[in-house]
Structure 1
Amino acid sequence: MRVAVFGTGAVGAYFGGRLAEAGEDVTFIARGENLLALRAHGLRVASIAGDFHLPTVRATDDPALAGPVDVVLVGVKAGQVAGIAPLLRPLLGPHTVVLPLQNGVEAAEHLAAALGPQRVLLGLCRIIVQQVGPGAFRHSGVAPALAFGALDARLPMALGPLRHAFRRAGIGVEEPADLRVALWEKFLFVAPFGTVGAAARVPMGELLAVPESRALLRACVIELAALARAGGVALPADAVDGVWKRYEQTPVAGTTSMQRDLLAGRPSELQAQTGAVVRLGQTHRVPTPVHDILYAVLWPQEIAATRLNAAPH
């Protein structure tokens, strides 16, 4: 199977790397120091599921040199998906499918608007993985897993071979009865965690230990559950309590990628997570006062990070 990973950040590198390790034909689309490192030293992943090093990988910054492929894994940050979607066209053949791996609930819609819904998958991934240097990554928690399905009945490719390829690479493949519910259940976990954690600037253990931040976190989860249901997502009745149990099982030092990016002064997924809650609340006329305030607190930090990273060095 021919695979292109567009955006070789932590998530794309891990899932694409495992596919390449299992013998699939994978091309990594990257840029800057990351691209140079991939070309010079290959891909290195330290993982709780077993370290691996691919000393030679195919890497480019030009999608036209990689395509067409069977599958495109989209590994950029969620806030970048709409902007990069047109750049994926050189990767597309008659039977290509596009699988987004982002946090959030809007990535598939952004891709479908640019590429057509018939070739886009609704997808989510589960993993804790970070980039620790150019071409180097660390998988530190959560058994890697994916769930995906067709956004449109006209999907040009059977998904059985793709699921088999991931399983052969040691990646769990879930097949939930309702993929939209699964996507929103993940969003229900990660968005409040990252939003409150970034505003408080502390990890999960400290959020739960302080009554005021604990209450703030639960208020965010309740708001988001109400928003999902208003949008027609059939969340289970115990969705809030289910998320809360997962929070209490989260390592005390646990943080989200959005939180880590904001604390480090890097552009983050704020718009695709907290911003999405605010926007969707307005669309569905669901009050989101807690998210509104936290978004207003965090947005200036995102602007500063974007300005800093856009400045010449």
Structure 2
Amino acid sequence: MHITVYGAGALGIYFGGRFLEAGIDVSFFVREKRAVQLRREGLKINSIQGNFEKQNITIHTDPKKIDKADIIILAIKGYHLEQALPQIKEISKKTNAFILPLLNGVEHIQILQEALGKEKVIGGLAFIIATLDNKGHVEHTSKQHDILFGPLHEKQQNICKKLEIESEKINAKSYMKEDILAYIWKKYMFITAFSGITSAAQRTIGDIMGSRASLKAAENVLKEMKTLANKEGISLTNNDVVQAANQLQSLPKHATSSMHQDLRKGLPLEVEHLHGGALRIAAKHIETVPVIETLYGIIKTHENGTPQNFK
């Protein structure tokens, strides 16, 4: 199996690196500037789950140069999808590759299906807290390093089974779920609360858990997201809300969301892809989600990456 990782942020480098570490054929499609850095500094993962580094990895910056791919792991931010779509289409058409998007949210699935065909877009998500240092190396600071994937179309069973076999070799938790949409929505519910409350408050999860009012706001986001999932035909339950709330409280006190990390760095934020997406789903079903709407309004002012001064 050959895997092409589209995107070389912390997510793409971490999981692409883990597949490489296991001896699987992996290449990376990246921007020119990132390609220069990767060629100079190499791929390196610093992780409590085990370090890994490799020089001279296969890097592409031109989709025309990619002649093989069974799966394209899409590891980009939601706000990059529109710009990336023509290149993804070109690579997939040339190689007949399936797409495994590891984006947060749900709107990207329909966008990709409309562009590539429903049979080509596998369901997927990832759980990891990681960032890049100034050399472009991954700093992975949590025990979680999970990929979940599963078929969204009957023609994907074979490729998902092949990926499941390859996944058994890697130093990460990567496994197949037949009901992948339910898991995507569980992640969407969790990340909307986690990213929303930490970014709006500009505090770590430990600070949030130390405030009953802040914790209640996060729990209310989970409840609102559960309602939206149910409206979309996904059977999330009150127990799923409780489990997500417990997951928030079980995180290390210093932990924070990738959105909050991006806010600290003055980078663009996925607020439109996550919270804006939830608001569009709510509008479709004539539902009100006041806490999500409030967090969206607060975070939206930072969407384009206005640099901030943080201690």
- Shared fold per TM-score greater than 0.5: yes
1:162 alignment partner, SS class: helix
Q: Which residue of structure 2 lines up, in the alignment, with residue 225 of structure 1?
A: 226
Deviation digits for residues 210-230 of structure 1, max 9, x if unmatched? 122122111111111111111
Alignment of 1:228-267 (within 5 A): 228-267=229-268
- The answer to whether the 8 Å contact 1:33/1:134 transfers is no
Q: Which residue of structure 1 lines up, in the alignment, with residue 283 of structure 2?
A: 282
Deviation digits for residues 3-42 of structure 1, max 9, x if unmatched? 1111111111111111122222211111244211211232
Deviation digits for residues 44-83 of structure 1, max 9, x if unmatched? 1101121111111011211221233111011110222233
* CA–CA distance in structure 1, aligned partners of residues 110 and 153 of structure 2: 11
Q: Which residue of structure 1 lines up, in the alignment, with residue 197 of structure 2?
A: 196
- The answer to whether the 8 Å contact 2:150/2:178 transfers is no
CA RMSD of aligned residues (A): 1.8
Q: Which residue of structure 2 lines up, in the alignment, with residue 99 of structure 1?
A: 100
> Is 1:173 paired with 2:183?
no
> Is 1:13 paired with 2:24?
no
* CA–CA distance in structure 2, aligned partners of residues 192 and 67 of structure 1: 40
Deviation digits for residues 119-160 of structure 1, max 9, x if unmatched? 110101122221113431111113322111122223385322
- The answer to whether the 8 Å contact 1:268/1:302 transfers is yes
Structure 2 gap segments, 5+ residues each: none
Deviation digits for residues 244-265 of structure 1, max 9, x if unmatched? 1111111111111112112321
* CA–CA distance in structure 2, aligned partners of residues 76 and 174 of structure 1: 21
- The answer to whether the 8 Å contact 1:6/1:76 transfers is yes
Letter of the aligned partner of 1:270 in structure 2? V
State how many pairs are aligned: 306
Q: Which residue of structure 2 lines up, in the alignment, with residue 140 of structure 1?
A: 141
- Inter-CA distance 24–176: structure 2 relative to 1 (3 Å threshold): closer
Q: Which residue of structure 2 lines up, in the alignment, with residue 120 of structure 1?
A: 121
Deviation digits for residues 77-121 of structure 1, max 9, x if unmatched? 022223312211332246411101112122222211111111110
- Inter-CA distance 160–44: structure 2 relative to 1 (3 Å threshold): same
Identity of aligned residues (%): 28
* CA–CA distance in structure 2, aligned partners of residues 17 and 277 of structure 1: 32
1:168 alignment partner, SS class: coil
- The answer to whether the 8 Å contact 2:167/2:175 transfers is no
* CA–CA distance in structure 1, aligned partners of residues 115 and 86 of structure 2: 6
Q: Which residue of structure 1 lines up, in the alignment, with residue 270 of structure 2?
A: 269
* CA–CA distance in structure 2, aligned partners of residues 166 and 278 of structure 1: 35
Letter of the aligned partner of 1:196 in structure 2? I
